[in-house]
Structure 1
Amino acid sequence: MAKALSLAEIRTRSNGFVVDWRGEPGEERQQAQSFIRDLLTVFGITKTKAGLYEKRAQRSSTGRQGYIDALIPGLCLIEMKSAGKDLLQAERQALDYVDDLSEIESPRWVVTSDFHNFRVLDLHAEANDTETFTLEEFPLHIEALAFLAGYQTHSFGDEHQEKASIQAAELMAELYEQLEGSGYTDHEASVFLVRTLFSLYADDSGVWERDSFFEFIETRTSEDGSDLGSQLAMLYQTMNRPTENRQKNLDPLIARFPYVNGGIFSEPLAIPAFSSSMRDTLLKACGFNWSEISPAIFGSLFQAVKDRTARRTLGEHYTTETNILKTINPLFMDELREQFATNANSTTKLKKLRRDLGDLRILDPAFMRKLDVSRDIGVAA
């Protein structure tokens, strides 16, 4: 299963992309989809996957039906125009489409191009920062589109991330309620949600090729949801088995998913019975950008999903990560970050620091839980 490409590989691919499209006339109608699919391939998104991102939409200003050239839900909208057309005007049209999208589908980045020029708008940045460059300059500006390969800049504790974490918990609560209403036991629903949450997060964070789980739900299950439970059971069973021990005649899409150790998929579960509305909820969850959630905030919210009363007030009562860090930074985080910075050039000392982090236990008196601090200082577990 493909993971996020290195920036070096992306730069190599971008040079080939420039060669392939240099001198092309740049006709919107005839060449837009080919251009987009080749562009996404530079960042590791297959041409088949790119086809899933074509979407009909409505312009909020006119009410007329339009066509978004490509929408990666929760991440990026791409709008193409013929060579020489005004990209600022194209951007306005793209934002017109954004206004009509659901909050979950709404992208962070808007990319417009006339085949010879690019304009990249970050809707979450202050003053909506924009970067522009030509096709020939593309290899020098791959960082501007590196989010397509899973490279993103997160500001832990910012308002947008806190809002995204609440939305993510609400999606899980909606799915839990539907499972609960279908007769699934509390334990089965909890295990199923954890597995599904892992798959949703992996879909957006480079654990495997982006949106593979979304593609599986979209293309391998019926709209009425009748076979969704059995298909998910097959997928989760497959991810619990090393690739060399799998059946030889597996669906190629299922076979692409990696072996996931640690036991998350090991417990046998009854196959859940889904309806069309439950499938729609899961697809809506697939459209959410799970890489934007704050683990610190979402973890506490996720605990409330199983409580009927707490579900009704999700997001109303929690301590923001900003306020959490105000307390723990001077207690121990600042010191740990200083150790990490001091030892950054020593493999031996970094390995020792990682071992020390593994032995470190912090008591949270409010919840009587242990905190994993390794993520916050940038040391991989």
Structure 2
Amino acid sequence: MADEVHDKGEHAGMARLSLRQVEARIEALGKRESFDSSFIYHLLEAYGTPKSTITRLRTGALNVAADKEREVARKKLVYFREVSANEDVLATATELRDAPHVKRFDPRFVIVTDYKELLAIDTKTRENLIIPIGQIAQHFSFFLPWAGMEKAQFTAEAHADVKAAERMGKLFDELLSANPDLFTSTTGRHSLNVFFTRLLFCFFAEDTGVFAENQFTTAVGSHTLKDGSDTQEFLTALFLALDTPNSADKPSYLAQFPYVNGRLFSNDSAMVVPHFTAKARESLIDLGTLMWQEINPDIFGSMFQAIVTPGKRSDLGQHYTSVPNILKTIEPLFLDELKETFSESFDNPTKLKRLLTRISTIKIFDPACGSGNFLVIAYKELRRLEHSILERLQKLEGTDGSRSMESFINIENFFGIEIDDFATEVAILSLWIAKHQMNVEFEEKFGIAIPLIPLKETGQIRAGNATRIPWDTVCPNNGTDEIYLIGNPPYVGSSMQTKEQKEDFQVVFDERKYPKKLDYIALWFIKGSKYIQGTNAELAFVTTNSITQGEQVGMLFPRIFGLGIEIGFAYTSFKWSNNAKHNAGVTVIVLGLRTESATPKYLFKDLVKNSVKNINPYLIDAPNLIVNRTSQAIAKGFPPMVYGSKPTDGGFLTIARDELDLFSSSPQIVKDSVLKYVGAAEFIRGIDRYLLLIDPQNLEEASKDPEVARRFEGVRAARLASKKVATQELATFPHLLEFLSYKPTNSIIVPSVSSERREYVPIGFLGPETVVSNLAFAIYDAEPWLFALLTSRMHMAWLRAVGGKMKTDFRYSNVLVYNTFPAPNLSHANKESLTEVALRVLDVREYHCDSTLAELYDAEKMPENLRAAHKHVDDLVDKLYSATPFDDDDARLSTLFGMYEEAIEAEKAAAPIKQTRSRKK
């Protein structure tokens, strides 16, 4: 148990090193003249493993290896073995990789060396490294996961997938050109989808032993004319033969093809094989020359879906979820716990058999399955775990034949819903391919072949709209079944949703009033929560982080928590990445939901797993509070923050810098009415812009100026042309702004949008001669102490947690961020201290007056004296909130959420008193 506790905290204590630091350390290690048994300890230390862990490994206290004389092993980290010069490094590494006693400890890397040659295996990506040990520095990136930096994965496989998808695209285009009428209808499109699915199976089958080697491609090349005129007839006959059990019932030239079954080649009268041209036939045969055994079904399906979907060709491979991202979903949801159970049952045959039975009954359900990549990876991982259990049982019970060696994991336990017809077919095919790949691994381990065909399992993938199909009709949930919902549902924001998607909300909510600004993916969380409510089922979806920010939180999570559902685990924001040519530029999270329980909760941040008391909707270890917009600041002494002034003037009251000369001969009363006018863009980028703001008392005299009169006339015309009645009515008063919040006092400007790359939003302190525009927020009658609070890291943490996003940029809100920001009661001395550090920041900015704030606040270019000035602000503000230093922003947020909860409770307690007094009056 002590070892388990140490496991959970070890990664949290690992030193966070930069890429350059790691490279420098490994370079020094590689320059050694000779290597010995200390090598593994130096290697681990170079990537940031704590010295205390290294010491305990050296003494054997943490070393879980079977042979401590030659091996060093640490759970989740490494399994290392040194071998003699006459031992085979490759054979030893391969043996260890697959050995049950090694898998039990789930090491990230298996390393074997004779101190001349080094072989390492990344067990997560299944990549190998074989090098002379002295060249370790040239390959330092291989072990970067130890330093918390995941590397790009499956590059070679992804390349093969892209190549195949692109060639399939050429065949698709040629067939579409040759059959323009066939695929215009829904029935024709379905025929096309089924046809290409059949081709995919045949190409894979002839390269993986399901068919004879090159059997399909050779048959097409041998039995069809070069002009393609009879290719349609041949393929129609072949597909029928593949659905015919008796070889005697097949044409003699097709008799050697096996019986496939499994619905894929079923005789469907609506299915029509397209007419081929010579070029299409050539493309078909060319596809057969690729090495289809290298194709990843989890990746290729998504890519090929883009090929056959109109308008998606340019997105080739953009939106498939990479294997490491899928593992972020399924590992903490169920796989880690299953592996722990395997480890605990390692020497107990009864418990191992019980675990086998358990995993054979697990149901995996992806209600937005696309081409099935989540289902495929989940299937493969469960099969690999099953193989490890069977290997261990074989070793414990012997190989006398008393145990029937077979796989009990059935693809009938893998369920999906997919709206796209072709993707549905590919998802089923992908599961078959994955099954065959795992059957091959099974045969390699146990010498027992499990034939793929005839296909007995057809899968449980249904075509349809997941928001409208009752999920229980696809994957029945009796309340006690072990069911895991996984996937990557569609992300569409409220402003981008189609009419049909808007209507999906009405179906899911089934109520007259519902939040219409929710992201589309929220429907999966609502339906998923209802599906798992009060049962053993759990879910984990990859989603944009927008649902845990801003107003989305208040619209979604009260409904989820109201069902007795809690967040069981979460990965905080990380960049979406895969190895396709064009990555989708989004920031995502992984959110795991379950019925409320006492089971531990885990929050993953920067690849570190942290055990927490609770995970709130903002993905913070804090109570389940919802920060709701409020019209007044909850912090005492905070002046109101308002929208800046909005002219609605057709551009005639606003003045560019090069237009100032137009007022050179104007009377002084007009010149005094030309004030600086700044919004977020002008303030941050240093753009000079002005506003003509005439005091009504001076209107008559100012109107006599020709330039003023010209601009007023332009304002009138622009407003009269508006479709809004209120704007038309305002045309009578061309000197007035549509909305005026300006006061001739000092003010604080807060940009409404700011880049996520900045550590601090560039907040400003302005004099009375500047008007803040409606594209920023303004605080008038402002004092420098408030500027210090708002530009502090404490306030930035609050903004990141509760503010919304515009794409990936921070989106500020007065009612949701400023008004809800908790602040301690400040003494006069506190305010003086804050004023002092605030003025220091402003002085440093003035010193760098030749640079724009965009340049000064660029994370990579920020001047050191400005960074130092902000640190003085941060340190002082932190001390106002806590007597002890904060470790990170999560600690700051825990304090802020606690203060917010107290402030809301105090408001609730005070509310009845106010009502009583009102009644007495």
Structure 1 length-normalised TM:
0.52
Report what 1:261 is aligned to: 261
Structure 1 CA distance for aligned equivalents of residues 317 and 373 of structure 2:
20
Structure 1 CA distance for aligned equivalents of residues 367 and 247 of structure 2:
42
Mapping 1:249-288, distance limit 5 Å: 250-252=251-253, 254-266=254-266, 267-268=268-269, 269-288=271-290
Structure 1 CA distance for aligned equivalents of residues 371 and 331 of structure 2:
19
Structure 2 residue corresponding to 1:309, chosen from 308, 311, 315: 311
Structure 2 CA distance for aligned equivalents of residues 261 and 246 of structure 1:
15
Q: Is the 8 A contact 1:162 1:320 kept in 2?
A: no
Deviations 1:334-371 (A, max 9, x none): 334555675897895476245313x3325569999972
Structure 1 CA distance for aligned equivalents of residues 371 and 211 of structure 2:
33
Deviations 1:188-218 (A, max 9, x none): 2111101111111111122122211111112
Cα gap change, 1:213 to 1:365, in 2 (>3 Å): closer
Report what 1:90 is aligned to: none
Amino acid at match of 1:178: E
Cα gap change, 1:340 to 1:281, in 2 (>3 Å): farther
Cα gap change, 1:127 to 1:369, in 2 (>3 Å): closer
Amino acid at match of 1:301: M
Deviations 1:305-333 (A, max 9, x none): 22222113312444322333234323323
Q: Is the 8 A contact 2:302 2:319 kept in 1?
A: no
Report what 1:139 is aligned to: none
Task: Give the secondary-structure state (helix, strand or coil) at the position aligned to 1:312.
Answer: helix
The alignment status of 1:375 with 2:380, answered yes or no, reads: yes
Q: How far has the Cα of 1:230 moved from its partner? A: 0.7
Cα gap change, 1:198 to 1:350, in 2 (>3 Å): farther
Amino acid at match of 2:230: D
Structure 2 CA distance for aligned equivalents of residues 290 and 367 of structure 1:
17
Cα gap change, 1:204 to 1:354, in 2 (>3 Å): farther
Q: Is the 8 A contact 2:302 2:317 kept in 1?
A: no
Alignment coverage as a number of residue pairs = 228
Cα gap change, 1:340 to 1:198, in 2 (>3 Å): farther
Structure 1 residue corresponding to 2:192, chosen from 182, 189, 193: 189
Task: Give the secondary-structure state (helix, strand or coil) at the position aligned to 2:307.
Answer: coil
Report what 2:243 is aligned to: 240
Task: Give the secondary-structure state (helix, strand or coil) at the position aligned to 1:270.
Answer: coil
Report what 1:173 is aligned to: 169
Amino acid at match of 1:260: V
Report what 1:356 is aligned to: 361
Cα gap change, 1:219 to 1:160, in 2 (>3 Å): same
Cα gap change, 1:316 to 1:370, in 2 (>3 Å): closer
Q: Is the 8 A contact 2:306 2:315 kept in 1?
A: no
Deviations 1:97-145 (A, max 9, x none): xxxxxxxxxxxxxxxxxxxxxxxxxxx975699xxxxxxxxxxxxxxxx
Task: Give the secondary-structure state (helix, strand or coil) at the position aligned to 1:323.
Answer: helix
Cα gap change, 1:285 to 1:209, in 2 (>3 Å): same
Amino acid at match of 1:306: V
Once the two structures are overlaid, the 10-residue window that deviates more, 320-329 or 180-189, is 320-329
Q: How far has the Cα of 1:241 moved from its partner? A: 1.1
Report what 1:224 is aligned to: 227
Structure 2 CA distance for aligned equivalents of residues 296 and 215 of structure 1:
27
Q: Is the 8 A contact 1:361 1:370 kept in 2?
A: no
Structure 1 CA distance for aligned equivalents of residues 292 and 341 of structure 2:
30
Structure 2 CA distance for aligned equivalents of residues 127 and 370 of structure 1:
31
Task: Give the secondary-structure state (helix, strand or coil) at the position aligned to 1:176.
Answer: helix
Once the two structures are overlaid, the 10-residue window that deviates more, 305-314 or 348-357, is 348-357
Task: Give the secondary-structure state (helix, strand or coil) at the position aligned to 1:309.
Answer: coil
Q: How far has the Cα of 1:301 moved from its partner? A: 1.8
Structure 2 CA distance for aligned equivalents of residues 371 and 242 of structure 1:
29
Structure 2 CA distance for aligned equivalents of residues 310 and 271 of structure 1:
24
Cα gap change, 1:231 to 1:375, in 2 (>3 Å): same
Cα gap change, 1:231 to 1:304, in 2 (>3 Å): same
Q: Is the 8 A contact 2:161 2:299 kept in 1?
A: yes
Q: Using CA pairs below 8 Å that are at least 6 residues apart, which structure has the higher relative contact order?
A: 1
Amino acid at match of 2:172: Y
Amino acid at match of 2:365: R
Structure 2 CA distance for aligned equivalents of residues 179 and 345 of structure 1:
57
Structure 2 CA distance for aligned equivalents of residues 281 and 161 of structure 1:
22
Unaligned runs of 5+ in 2: 1-126, 133-151, 184-188, 387-408, 411-921
The alignment status of 1:164 with 2:160, answered yes or no, reads: yes
Report what 1:294 is aligned to: 296
Report what 1:206 is aligned to: 209
Mapping 1:28-177, distance limit 5 Å: 157-177=153-173
Amino acid at match of 1:170: E
Q: How far has the Cα of 1:171 moved from its partner? A: 2.5
Amino acid at match of 1:298: F
Q: Is the 8 A contact 1:363 1:369 kept in 2?
A: no
Amino acid at match of 1:177: D
Structure 2 residue corresponding to 1:328, chosen from 318, 327, 330: 330
Task: Give the secondary-structure state (helix, strand or coil) at the position aligned to 1:194.
Answer: helix
Q: Is the 8 A contact 1:364 1:370 kept in 2?
A: no
Cα gap change, 1:336 to 1:366, in 2 (>3 Å): farther
Structure 2 length-normalised TM:
0.23
Cα gap change, 1:233 to 1:157, in 2 (>3 Å): farther
Q: How far has the Cα of 1:285 moved from its partner? A: 1.1
Q: Is the 8 A contact 2:326 2:374 kept in 1?
A: no
Q: Is the 8 A contact 1:225 1:279 kept in 2?
A: yes
Task: Give the secondary-structure state (helix, strand or coil) at the position aligned to 2:201.
Answer: helix
Structure 2 CA distance for aligned equivalents of residues 169 and 307 of structure 1:
13
Q: Is the 8 A contact 2:247 2:256 kept in 1?
A: no
Cα gap change, 1:369 to 1:292, in 2 (>3 Å): closer
Cα gap change, 1:199 to 1:349, in 2 (>3 Å): farther
Cα gap change, 1:300 to 1:234, in 2 (>3 Å): same
Cα gap change, 1:323 to 1:368, in 2 (>3 Å): closer
Structure 2 CA distance for aligned equivalents of residues 242 and 170 of structure 1:
34
Cα gap change, 1:339 to 1:275, in 2 (>3 Å): farther
Structure 1 CA distance for aligned equivalents of residues 373 and 293 of structure 2:
24
Amino acid at match of 2:174: Q
Cα gap change, 1:261 to 1:365, in 2 (>3 Å): closer
Structure 2 CA distance for aligned equivalents of residues 225 and 367 of structure 1:
30
Cα gap change, 1:273 to 1:261, in 2 (>3 Å): same
Structure 1 CA distance for aligned equivalents of residues 272 and 293 of structure 2:
29
Cα gap change, 1:354 to 1:175, in 2 (>3 Å): farther
Q: How far has the Cα of 1:238 moved from its partner? A: 0.5
Q: Is the 8 A contact 2:225 2:231 kept in 1?
A: yes
Amino acid at match of 1:270: V
